[in-house]
Structure 1
Amino acid sequence: MSKRPFPVVLVTLQKIVGGGQTLATMDDGRKLFVWGGLPTEEVEVQLFRKKNSFAEGYVINVLKPAKDRIEALDQDSYISTSPWQIMAFASEQRHKAELIKEAFDLHHFKLPKKIEVYSDDHEYGYRNKMEFSWYWDKAANQLDLAFYGRGTHSKIPVAGSHLAMESINKTALAMRDLLRAHHATGFSLKTLLVRANQKGDVAMQLYVKSESFKPFREIDIAALGVKGFEVIYSNPKSPASVITKRLQAWGSLSLTDTINNVPFSYLAESFFQINLPVYEQALMDMHKWVDPAKPTVDLYSGVGTIGLTIGADDLTLVEINEAAVCEMKANIERLKMKHAHAVHAPSEKALDFISGNATIIVDPPRAGLDKSVINRLIEAAPARIIYLSCNPVTQARDIALLAESYSITSHRGYNFFPRTPHIEHLVVLDLT
């Protein structure tokens, strides 16, 4: 028996909530979390998930638009990649400040000053990394770049993204055209990862589903205009683009960028900040709170871009990802930082490095700080903690726990990801 399709419902949207959706209430009393809509709008929503207490969906028709609604640039795919393309940028800035406030209100914690969200006003073309899926048009027997539809397994064919740097879209389309000439089908391909530095140099990885994938001619790879290229077999049983086996390599997959006058190298698949100009401003703001006379401990340090740019000479960097630690060590050696030490460990297993005489920097994943890290911070009582977060909700939770010993000296939001709901927030905590 075929599965019944989810219905379309008519609702009036109320407010934007922490996940980035807009909230409504359905006729049966259930809360509805909607993508592609703005507060006050009357809309028709296609549901894609229904639970006993809530549902989720996306807007398919706007009956009464909000005053700040604008036309999305990526008409077909914005809900998948950047659902806030539909609002004026000033409204986005305001909503992000409100979401930071609500995150702290949720934990009964009042921030000491008005919330500011910094932006360099570049709404598009800022992303230095994109990951595309593939779409196979059966009628035309044609391959296209694609993104997954929000909340579904369907794919939307695209010719790039307005969020991406121009060099990324250009080389992604060149790869699509080469695969068409290569007679590759969407069923044999997994994803395409394209990364660019600020100069426009591009490194690209094609993830495929079979170890017997036919290799490319070097002359064809050179014509892509990339600095480096790899074909990687990725276990098709894993939904993520994991590296199971490297099948073909050409050029160099290592890119270089300068962050606040400090050079860094990183691999195409390594973690590296997506929006470097805004990140540089965050680092400059953080630098003001680092005491050069004290050791610096940088937890969740990635390839070391925070500690190696703003940390004191006596620097310890802790990171769980082995590839990132290798890149970090290479950066330390190249920068000739004799008193910087890379530690390959999860932060919750490196608690002995948290000491009372050090400045502690934390930039955890969305889940926030492990409880053991919070307990150790309270026990060791460092004079200052600099906490950069990609999730103000978990940051507020952690700071509420630290508040028994610390007070907030400074805080600022950053719009690292314009046209999306994602927010970065910096809080400087001083021992009371």
Structure 2
Amino acid sequence: MTDRTPQPARSRRLFSRTSWPEARFLADVLRTETVGGGLLLLGAVVALAWANSPWGDAYTALTRWVPWPGGSALHLDLTLATWAADGLLAVFFFVVGLELKREFVAGELRDPRRAALPVVAALGGMAAPALIYVGVTLAAGGEGLRGWAIPTATDIAFALAVLAVIGSHLPQGLRAFLLTLAVVDDLFAITIIAVFYTDDFSLLPLLGALVPITVFGLLVQRRRTWWWALIPLAVTAWALVHASGVHATVAGVLLGFTVPVLRAAKGDRHGLAEHLEHRWRPVSAGFAVPVFAFFAAGVSLRDADLGAVVTDPIVIGIVAGLVLGKAIGVFGSAFLLARFTRAQLDEDITWSDLLGVALLAGIGFTVSLLIGELAFGAGSPADDNVKAAVLSGSVISALLATTVLLRRNAAYRRIAEAERVDTDRDGIPDVYQRPDA
């Protein structure tokens, strides 16, 4: 007898496979971010080793060195560590801006049905850690509440680097989910930084920043990619946003938003946003983020009271938020969305896979360290504890994700081998040419 049980439509499946062009783009991003994640980890390890070595004072002196001490009039009398956080991370957030616009115009987020899952998961994955952190700090007297946003961030480079090592054959739909989740997470993190961590706000420089940003936008909209014009405009916008009191990395996002995504003509291979992303992502992942990690992760434990650090409510709140909050928020949001919409997981994916990815979202390195500095001040005792907590929480999340995902790696390998079949040898795997793909 023929089975007439209604089957869910492809659009009703969570983590379904994306289109072939989107899959190729995703593969390029994963390769770059995986290398960048390895360099980020290297920078953090070198910083930790140096800060806790007999030459730790030299590391501290380097981070506090002010290259241009006469720049106070322009708010540019910054230490090397601050230049890394405010300056180099602007490159990272420029790439994030390009990535966000591309996702909303031509990527996963252009379709409300496909966008619902990563957006809801990102919101849940930020709300749960924040609530856990607030609960822990309130129970201990309320000190440290200003750091509520520290465990809400996911580090895309670090997470993808771990994923590449432990789950090289993860189904493409789940990889796309992690990337899109991290992009949406970055959007909310940028908003949090701009709204909640802006001190001494000055409106005039911010209004002034709109001038170079507008000129930059007009040039890129006309495909005028003259480096000698765009880079000075970007630097001017960055300096004015920094002088306004808003964190200067917001300038990178705004500049990224001005770049057009769609191709200007049919003969163009890529849109300008994708072209600039290919050009600047290696700079961001290979230089800007690892250097920031080097200056941000060097917490010294030589004279620290480890008992006091471990029992500090800030530390407990951050670790619990990253390890438990992220997993509960991401996994729980996706589960509830599936329950209430009656959607089903894609045929290649199980709920244990999603749990592994939810645990990976607890790797909150780069943006978490940045928010920690903004919340408590760079070099403060609380900031040192924040660094220790972020590092600990991220490592624990990575180890738990490894435990979960390694068990599925053999199944991933079989799926990947089936997807590589190209019987007609046209360069496109057969799985992307099925009627339901």
Select the structure with the greater relative contact order (CA < 8 A; seq sep ≥ 6).
Answer: 2
Higher strand share: 1
TM-score (norm 1): 0.21
TM-score (norm 2): 0.21
